[in-house]
């Protein structure tokens, strides 16, 4: 299977990460499973109350008022478990945002991801094109292309686009915080470019996927995901100890995957990510 690895392109003159923010930011885990089952929801995080990072099935647990407050969606890649709630969210909030004269919800993604969303979801066959509805002058959604290395300014939040290595064009994200960054790898296999960048960032919390068991290492390699043995090699490239949370484990596989991860000593504190978990990023 042909993979795709993002190239890293960091502006050497980008201003340094701020040492302190005015008030704390919070990330709520809406979903962190590799697929669906009772109690298992696919990837999505809510940054404060108006930024989604990925839009998997976990978005469906938000109230209508919470959905209507979302102004930005950061998308790691085009796979269904990370994007399927974008169109449903647009449909749910259209009337409320129009009545309140709110601007479009901005979907930030790689140009290749935007092209895939247009071609395969917002095409009038699978789902209506909400970048043109309710009309072209007042759409519910607006797509905005991003690039690896870019710093996104979302109000007081600054989010860096990180490289990922997956079967389709993909990225991860780092959210600026004090004293260290919250980093989400997105779906990725072994990824030297990511660790090259993270060695120069103050990483406090790392959310990293491990989708398969070690006996499925071949499948992990083909699908550009990680298994515990690969995870161990990847984490060895992170120089300073960090809080590490494992995401994207398939339903029913959490105990097996975490047992294999726990069989190896690590300088990092490694735990399974859980839905409804709340993380405070800064004070």
**115-141 residue pLDDT tens:** 999 999 999 999 999 999 999 999 999
pLDDT tens-digit readout, 66-93: 999 999 999 999 999 999 999 999 999 9
Per-residue confidence band for 4, with pLDDT thresholds at 50, 70 and 90: low
Domain boundaries, the chain: 4-8+22-280
47 contact partners, CB below 8 Å, separation of at least 6? 25, 26, 27, 53, 154, 157, 175
The pTM score is 0.92
Residue position matching structure tokens 């993270």:
198
∠ CA 173-179-185, nearest 5°, is: 20
Res 179: pLDDT: 83
Contact 112, 119 (CB under 8 A): no
Does residue 283 have a pLDDT over 80? no
Q: How far is 216 from 219, CA to CA, in rounded Å?
A: 5
Plot region of 39 (φ>0 → left; ψ -120 to 50 → alpha; else → beta) = left
Q: How far is 152 from 175, CA to CA, in rounded Å?
A: 10
> Considering only CA atoms, which of 160, 153, 212 is closest in space to residue 183?
160
As a whole number, the mean pLDDT across the chain is: 92
C-alpha dihedral over 266, 271, 273, 275, to 10 degrees?
A: -170
Does residue 2 have a pLDDT over 90? no
Helix or strand (DSSP H, E) at 222: helix 217-222
In this structure, the number of other CB atoms found within 10 A of the CB of residue 140 comes to 25
Q: What is the mean pLDDT of residues 142-148?
A: 98
Q: Which tokens sit at 257?
A: 């995957």
Contact 172, 163 (CB under 8 A): yes
Does residue 15 have a pLDDT over 80? no
| 100 phi/psi in degrees, rounded to 5 | -90, 5
Q: How far is CA 273 from CA 40, 117, 219, 276, 278, in A?
A: 12, 28, 22, 9, 10
Res 23: pLDDT: 66
Res 116: pLDDT: 98
pLDDT tens-digit readout, 172-229: 999 988 789 999 999 999 999 999 999 999 999 999 999 999 999 999 999 999 999 9
CATH 3.60.15.10 fits 4-8+22-280, yes or no: yes
> Considering only CA atoms, which of 87, 74, 168, 81 is closest in space to residue 122?
87
Residue position matching structure tokens 């800064």:
282
Q: Is the peptide bond before 134 cis (omega within 30 degrees of 0)?
A: yes
Res 5: pLDDT: 59
Contact 247, 273 (CB under 8 A): yes
Which sign does the torsion angle of CA 103, 110, 243, 13 carry?
Answer: negative
∠ CA 55-210-187, nearest 5°, is: 40
């Amino acid at each position: 299977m042909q993979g795709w690895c993002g190239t890293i392109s960091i502006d050497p003159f980008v201003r340094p990460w701020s040492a302190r923010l005015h008030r704390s930011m919070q990330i709520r885990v809406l979903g962190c499973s590799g697929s669906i089952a009772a109690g298992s929801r696919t990837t999505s995080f809510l940054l404060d109350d108006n930024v989604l990072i990925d839009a998997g099935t976990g978005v469906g647990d938000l109230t209508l008022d919470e959905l209507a407050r979302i102004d930005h969606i950061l998308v790691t890649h085009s796979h269904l478990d990370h994007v399927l709630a974008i169109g449903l969210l647009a449909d749910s909030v259209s009337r409320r945002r129009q009545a309140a004269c709110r601007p479009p919800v901005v979907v930030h993604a790689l140009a290749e991801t935007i092209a895939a969303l247009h071609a395969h979801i917002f095409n009038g066959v699978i789902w209506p094109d909400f970048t043109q509805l309710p009309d072209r002058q007042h759409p519910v959604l607006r797509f905005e292309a991003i690039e690896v290395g870019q710093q996104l300014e979302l109000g007081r939040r600054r989010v860096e686009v990180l490289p990922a290595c997956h079967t389709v064009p993909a990225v991860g994200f780092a959210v600026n915080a004090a004293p260290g960054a919250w980093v989400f790898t997105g779906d990725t296999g072994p990824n030297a470019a990511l660790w090259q960048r993270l060695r120069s960032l103050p990483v406090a919390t790392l959310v990293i996927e491990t989708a398969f068991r070690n006996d499925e290492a071949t499948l992990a390699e083909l699908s550009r995901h990680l298994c515990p043995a690969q995870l161990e090699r990847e984490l060895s490239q992170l120089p300073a100890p960090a809080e590490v949370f494992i995401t994207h484990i398939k339903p029913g596989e959490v105990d097996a995957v975490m047992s294999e991860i726990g069989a190896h000593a690590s300088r990092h504190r490694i735990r399974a990510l859980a839905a409804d978990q709340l993380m405070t990023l800064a004070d």
